[in-house]
Structures are given as structure tokens and as C-alpha cells.
Structure 1
């Protein structure tokens, strides 16, 4: 009887553990079923010229074509010179949203400009991500608050946000007086200063935009601002009447509908399916999913010049991401996709050019974290002139690249292949 009692005492906790395990599996399945969505199938059959498809591209990515914009391309550290010059000239509002912020020389310049504007009566709203902004010092936050800046932290690292902390605000966006916007990949870290001259000065591109399209970017800023603060802003100071300022048509992809494929993912995948001549991609973290790999391979098979440039493993700030990306390089190379690695420094710009006519820039990396989890923004632009500028940047950077060769790539050793497979298991979280 004593042995039976011991047996029953042991079996009860085991049964509770088993029951808890089943409950956990059921809970995971319920969450997965609630959150899942169907990825876009990239089997589009369409011979229409790209100009005729622009409304479709914008509409399918939950946007609309907005004409009459003027756009200026800003590279490397010069971006901040122009940005700060415009911040100190703002008369009504400064809306600043960024992912990565680390105190240093650049941070000090930005903080001084924001504080000066706030003390002058300008409404300054600053949104930083809870994860990317964790290195912003308390003293910096105090200075901003004391000057009158409104600072909001997106999904701050607190217990109440434990369920959403993995969802990050990865956007880099500034809107001034509702009339001028800046968008691209630049972060508030000293590595983004300089002119990409060495490994400690990164390579990046952003845009300065004027015209009616600024309203769409102001709307994007308001999305996460309202989410964190509950504050709505209205009036001429934030949404003024905007007249045409140039000849660039643009559309914005940012929407992430519940249980539907995110707009940024649809946009990046869609344009690969309708390219007729060439696809040029520059992206720091290139981890395409199977559908994107298939789309790029099909494009190469129909004679499209497909080239993708990313930093080399040695130049990347996250080399394990590059190792994960290598998982499918053999497949891409075998299908005729040309892969180039940039070794000089971190190549951080996120650019696409399709057929020398349409181009895109934004915060989105070419991976599942950006496409599925993060809050991102990509601006599509219809402009042969801008496309030519982006293509010139690509060709200039290509001169410093090492192009991968299929035969050599296939000779990499078993340890390297195993490491690639291991890191790729975590591709959505990298």
C-alpha cells in the first residue's frame, strides 16, 4: 500500500505536467490560428508595361498614387546636415520617428536642434522604439522633456508590453510643418556620420520629399503616435494644403492588416513579378522566403537582369544574419540571380529599382522580421530620373563588390553549411 501511495504521488505531478504541456500546445495553436495569414502567391501572368501597372502596385499595397512631388537623394552623413538645417527652420511642428538611437556626437546635434525648437514654441513630437532606443540615456530624455519635447517610446521595455515587445517600430521618418518629409534608413548613431570611408562609417541613403505625398508620410507618423499616446493632431500645422512641387509620383506601403499579408511584403514581392528588364536590390539583410526566391528565379529565367547587393559577412554589423542568408544563395545562383557582397562597410541602404522606371526606398529589410513583424514603411517612386540615380549608386557600389560564383559557392564546407541551416532556423527573429 505504501508503494502504491508513492506511485500515485509521483504519477499525479507527471499527469499535471502532461496536461500543462497539452494546454500550452493548444494555446500556441490558437494564437497561430488567430495571427496567421496567407502569403501572396507570386504567380502573376501580366505583360502590361510598368507605367500601366502603377495604380495596381499602389492599390494592392494599400496605397494610392500621389503625383506632384519633389525628391532629393541624400547620402551618408550629408543627410544629417540637411535634416538638422531643416529642423532648426521648422515653424510649427517637428515629428521625428526612429528605431535605433545611441547617445554620441550625432545624438547631441539632434537633441540640441529639437530642444531649441521646442523652447521656441514649436510642437516637437519624438517617437523612439523601446528596443532600438534602449541606449538613449536618462539624461538625454530628461533634457528633451525639460525643453518641452513630447517623447514617446514605442512598446517600452515594461512588463505591460511583454506581449508586444517583439513587434518593433523600425521606421525612420521625419515630417516638418507637415510640408517636408525625410525617409530612408539612417539611424541616430555616430556610425551613420562621415562618408562611408571605413568600417566605422556606414553606407546609407535617405530622401527629402516635398509635395502632396507628405500627407501620406504624416499619416504614417500619426499611426504609432496615436497608438502610444492617444493624441490626435489636426490643423494646418500638421496637414496643410499642399501644392504640387515636382514631377515625381509616389505611393506609400505601411499598412499591416490583421490576418492579411502586410503591405510592405506585398509591394516588394509584387514588383519582382512584373519586371521586364532588370531588378536591382540593395539591402543589408537579405533573407528572402521561398516565394520571393521563386519570383526572383522566374524573373531571371525570363531574361530579367536580377542583381542583389548586400554587405559581406565581415562588413555586416550582424554577421550571423549574413550566415543565415547564405542558406539559399546556392538556389538563387543556380537560377541565374547575381549576388554581390559589399566589403568596405555596412551597406545599410534599402533600395529597389525596377526596369529603370520605378524605384523604392524605406526602412524595410528583405526578411521576414521586416515583412511580418516590425512596423515598416516603404515609399515607391515613379521617376526615371530617380531610378537612374539609384542605378548609378548601385553601379558605383558594384565596383567595390565581390560577385559570388556558383561553382565556388558549391565548394563551401559542411561546417559552413550546417551553420547556415542553424542560423536560418531563427530567420524571423534576426
Structure 2
């Protein structure tokens, strides 16, 4: 009788204790996973970045593609080029984006894709399930009825609960397996125009031709195969590609299980080997302590490091900009020069090193892009292209306000508390 009473009392107690310990266990699991994906990176190298493309590619699990052409497009001009390429498609169109909102631009894109599908072109469209919430049922219905395949990546459904935080942040288009477009442009009307006021967005993208297009096509296939199981093969998607320029590139996109993602390794490596100058333009610049240390060490060895971000008033996510301010003290004290773009949301995600190497793509300079999102970043070894991006930086700097360490240090208690709280909140998310 005593044993029965003891057992009866113990079972609820054990259940309650188990429930209390569950958050601790889950926390340890998450910490363990993140710690393996976020080791402290180190490098000892005195060679210039212009000689290290094979190393940059290999360590970020990519392949160097030789003999390509790269063309830079700014703001709304990108879409005019994009629609020209879509109209020229004869075999296949693969379109992938994070953000699509119903509007003039979205409707025009729907019409263009439907027209090509009716002409016999295979059309596949992938939109992030979260970023595409405002795409509109009508757009999806019309595309599907015309024969286009439309997939929403990780929509908010119970079966996706385990991957609800894994977002597809890539923006790319592949035409006939021969032309690829990569950058930061989203299908939202504010990306139209020429970044002339607060209602517009400042952004950059590139058109690629040459063997590297196979690399971009393989990136599109990653989430497409995950969500549909379909393997597309043949010359309509992977034709033989001859060299058509003199630019060497590789594509960083891999998120290896249990290892640091390729885009994080790529950016860290480039900063650590810089000899003369680094230029960064990024809308959400929240480097971790390791990246801050790398940038400040670059300054200490004589590198001119400049970073450009949108102002809090111009940003679409001002709370994130305030969170970013938390690290400005360390960066400014370390000699990093910081500029805030005033005209509108500065959305391009680019970095140049020493006037020889560049990165451009979808990746923000924060832990979400580096460790969680699906991203694509092009690593470009070409002096002409790097010069173009540096000229863009200089031109944009005329619309910026620059900060100085001594002035920033004089901020009041309230701004500092606000920035620290928002930084913690951003880290939790």
C-alpha cells in the first residue's frame, strides 16, 4: 500500500520536473548546434586577395568559374534589363525571390512570365513563404493557370514548423541556363525609379554570362528540389557554356550541416586578407564580435575601412538600425569609418577589397544572413568591376552623414540603453 501511494505521488512530480527541464534541454541543444556552426575563424596569410580566388572558393565550398562577363545595373534600370531577358527566353525561366508584393511591378512580371509560358517556355517561380505573403492570390492563380510552376518556400504551415526560421532570402533569375541575374532587387514597387526619394530603394544587381551561370542555376535547384522533388535536366537548363569574357567568379551559397555557412567564411576571409582598403555597403550591418575584431584589426594594419548603411529615418527597419548602433562605438574607436545614407533605403549588399575583389548578392552583414537564411553571394575577381563598385560608393557617400568616434561617444544614456535593448532583442530573433 505504501509503495502504491509513493508511485502515485511520484509520477506527477516527475512529469512536472520533466516539463521544467525541457526548456533547459532545448536551450542546450540549440546552443550546441549554433556553437558548432559558429567557431572562431582564424587565418594567417600575407598574400593579396587578387591571388586568393581559388582559396576563397575552396574554403567557401565553391568552384572558380573562368571566362565570364559581369554587367552592373542600378535601381530601376535593372528591371528593364530583366524584362528584356525574359522576353528573349526560348527554353526556360527560373525566378527566385524573397520579397514580392502585389503592385505595378508584380503585375508586369506576371504578364511577362505568362506570355513566355504560352510561347512554350518552361517557367518556374520560387518565392519565400514569408516574404511572399503579399504577393496576392490572384498573381499565383494566374501564373499556375497559365502553366507556370509556382512554389512558396516554407510557408506558415504545421508541417514546416521545424524550418519556420529558415527563409529563402535569395534574389536571382536564370534565363535558358545561359544568362543569370543576381542582386538585391525585390518585386516591390519601391524598387522602381532611381532612388530619388524616401519612397524608393537604392539597389544594385548584375547580369552574368559564361560558365558561372551553371553555378547560379545549381543554387536555384537547391530549394526547388527540396520543395518539389523535381530534378530538371538537359540543355534547356544546363547547356554547354563557352567563355564570353575575362572575369573569374565563384558562387557562395552552401550552408553545410554543422559547419559555418559559405557566405560567412567568404566575408570573413576577405576582411582578414585585405591590404589597402575595404568598402562595404549593406542595409543591415550587425557584425558579430568576431567580425568587429577583424575589421578593427584590418584598420590596425593600415587598411582604410569604410562602411555605408541607411540612416534610421530612411531604413525600412529602423529598430534594426538602432540595434546596429550598439556596435558603432567599437568600430569607430577601432578606426572604421561609418557613413549613413540619407536619401532612401540603401539596400545593396556589396563589399570590395583592395580594388581587385568584390562580393555582391543577397546577403546582409548579420548573423541571420550568415548563419540562417538561404543566400547567394558572388565572389568576383576583376579590377574593372571592383572599380565600378568603388565609384558607386564614392558617389553615394555624397548623400551620407559620417560619424566620428569622439562625437558618437557623447551620446546620451537613453540612446545607449535603447540600442543595447534592441540589439539583445535582435539577437534573440
TM range (shorter): over 0.9
Q: CA deviation at 1:26?
A: 1.5
**Equivalent residue, structure 2, for 1:357:** 356
Query: Contact between 1:98 and 1:128, CA under 8 Å: does it hold in 2?
Result: yes
Q: Give the alignment's TM-score, normalised by structure 1.
A: 0.95
Asked if structure 2 preserves the Cα contact closer than 8 Å seen for 1:367 and 1:428, the reply is: no
Q: Distance in 1 between matches of 2:312 and 2:338?
A: 13
Of 415-424 and 100-109, deviating more is: 415-424
**Other-structure match for 1:71:** 70
Compute the RMSD of aligned alpha carbons: 1.6
Match of 2:405 in 1: 406
Asked if structure 2 preserves the Cα contact closer than 8 Å seen for 1:124 and 1:149, the reply is yes
CA contact (8 A) 2:172 2:181 kept: yes
Q: Tell me by how many angstroms 1:37 deviates.
A: 1.5
Q: Structure 2-normalised TM-score?
A: 0.96
| Residue-by-residue CA offset, 1:161-217 (whole Å, 9 max, x unaligned) | 112111100000100000000000000000100000001110000000000000000
How far, CA to CA, are the matches of 2:98 and 2:186 in structure 1? 7
Contact 1:127 1:153 in 2 (8 A): yes
Give the corresponding residue for 2:179.
180
Whole-angstrom distance in 1 between the partners of 2:157 and 2:40:
38
Could you tell me how far apart the structure 2 residues matched to 1:165 and 1:271 are? 31
Partners of 1:67 and 1:426 in 2: CA distance = 43
Structure 1 residues 204-283: aligned runs within 5 Å: 204-283=203-282
> How far apart are the structure 2 equivalents of 1:354 and 1:61?
17
Distance 2:417 2:285 in 1: 19
Quick check: 2:37–2:261 contact (8 Å CA) kept in 1?
A: no
Distance 2:29 2:286 in 1: 28
Asked if 1 retains the 8 angstrom alpha-carbon contact of 2:37 and 2:371, the reply is: no
Instruction: Figure out how many residues of one structure are paired with residues of the other and give that number.
Output: 423
Q: Is the 8 A contact 2:309 2:339 kept in 1?
A: yes
1:35 Cα offset (Å): 5.3
Partner residue in 1 for 2:368: 369
Structure 2 segments unaligned to the other structure (5+ residues):
none
Q: What is the aligned partner in structure 2 of residue 347 from structure 1?
A: 346
CA–CA separation in structure 1 for the residues paired with 2:410 and 2:318: 20
Displacement of 1:42 in angstroms is: 4.2
Q: CA deviation at 1:24?
A: 2.8
Deviations 1:226-256 (A, max 9, x none): 0000000000000000000111100010000
Shift in Å, 1:50: 2.1
What aligned pairs does 1:270-349 form with structure 2 within 5 A after superposition? 270-349=269-348
Q: CA–CA distance in 2 between the matches of 1:394 and 1:31?
A: 39
Distance 1:189 1:13 in 2: 54
Once the two structures are superposed, what CA deviation does each residue of 1:333-353 show, in whole Å capped at 9, x if it has no partner? 001000000010000000100
How far off its partner does 1:426 sit?
Answer: 2.9
SS of structure 2 residue aligned to 1:186: coil
Measured in 1, the distance between the counterparts of 2:168 and 2:88 equals 27
Shift of 1:14: 7.1
Distance in 2 between the 1:38 and 1:375 partners?
15
- Aligned mates of 2:428, 2:342 — CA distance in 1: 25
Of the structure 1 ranges 41-50 and 345-354, higher mean CA displacement relative to structure 2 is found in 41-50
CA distance in 2, matches of 1:330, 1:86: 45
- Bigger mean CA deviation after superposition, 28-37 or 260-269: 28-37
